[in-house]
Amino acid sequence: MYDLLIIGAGPAGISMAAEARKSGIKSDKILLIEKAEEHSWTIKKFYPNEKLVSANYKEKTAVCSGVMCMSDSSKDDALSYLDMAIGKYSLQVHYQEVVQKLYKKDTDVNFTIKTNKNSYQTRICAIAIGMMGKPNKPAYKIPVTLKKSNINYDITSKEIKNSKVLVVGGGDSASEYTQYLALSGNEVTLCYRQEKFKRMNNINKQSLQELEKQEKVKSYMSCDIEEIKESSTEGMPLVCFKGDIYDDEEFDQIVYALGGTSPTNFLRLLGIEFDGNEPVIREGFETSIPGLFLLGDLSAGRKGGSLISAFNSANSAMEKVCKDYLLCKI
């Protein structure tokens, strides 16, 4: 029997466990379950080494409320900080373990979690699985022959160099991917369906503008893709744009930076109350199910999250846990 079981060993999950340890809960009463082979897998997989891991979001002041805090950092520094937290607080993490079922009987005060390896009981459960575990994909179909060799949803799985690349998206990740690819010697075009960048911070906007001045990047605004075909001449992706602003164009590689999808179906099956497409979050990031909490990106919703918001959500959740459920100090 655990006092706290956390699903997901990313920044939010690790900070929740650290908050629990700081509150006086013993390490053997806390367990993190992570489906990947390492913690913070989203950062390790989706972030290039040169990409800055932003502590705040859209230039909001990064003010920490809990035991974990950091400023904008390199990928390595961010991962080292999270490594340190796991060691410092003696956190138990079970890797490559997938949650298959989570339930709580009406008459039971405890949760039962079944995985592909074991079954656990816990008094409190926190879900901190993030958004990028399932990247958003375009609505149009992509030829099967292109999917493995020419279509990408991150830029760390394979090296892209000396290629003509189309990046699809308009947020900070799309900008950062574009910058990284351009500086790696690629001919890069960024395709965004809006007239102006609305979700991108000023630093990334300015960086894009500078690369455009240097003719290292092209930005296609009001750019919408109708379909992607396999080119008859080269077997490369042929992008067919909607309207008459842009001509159909061949690219070597296409990179999608469309954000991630929250595991809505999984959360609904747990019986969590929803308001439209967003789970209802109450005081301390608690769901409609007593003792079940959503942290990090799941609690930030469409507004978008950050390292600091992940850390702070864990701090708020732990305050609620100590106040209402466990005998721990706030």
Share of the chain above pLDDT 90, in %: 61
Share of the chain above pLDDT 70, in %: 92
Residues 297 and 34: their CA atoms lie apart, in Å, by 16
pLDDT surpassing 80 at residue 206: yes
- Give 52-117 as a 3 state SS string: CECCCCCCCCCCCCCCCCCCCECHHHHHHHHHHHHHHCCCCEECCCCEEEEECCCCCCCEEEEECC
Superfamily of domain 144-256: FAD/NAD(P)-binding domain (3.50.50.60)
Distances from the Cα of 42 to the Cα of 8, 10, 11, 208, angstroms: 11, 8, 10, 24
Give the pLDDT band (50/70/90) at residue 315. very high
Domain boundaries defined on the chain: 2-134+260-324, 144-256
More confidently predicted of 48 and 6? 6
pTM of the model: 0.74
Asked, colleague to colleague, whether 2-134+260-324 and 144-256 share their fold, the answer is: yes
pLDDT in the model for residue 136: 81
pLDDT in the model for residue 131: 59
Rounded mean pLDDT, 108-125 = 92
Average pLDDT, the chain: 88
**Tell me: the pLDDT tens digits for 85-105?**
999 999 999 999 999 889 887
pLDDT in the model for residue 158: 82
**Tell me: the pLDDT tens digits for 249-305?**
999 999 999 876 667 777 887 889 988 878 899 999 999 999 999 998 776 655 556
Superfamily of domain 2-134+260-324: FAD/NAD(P)-binding domain (3.50.50.60)
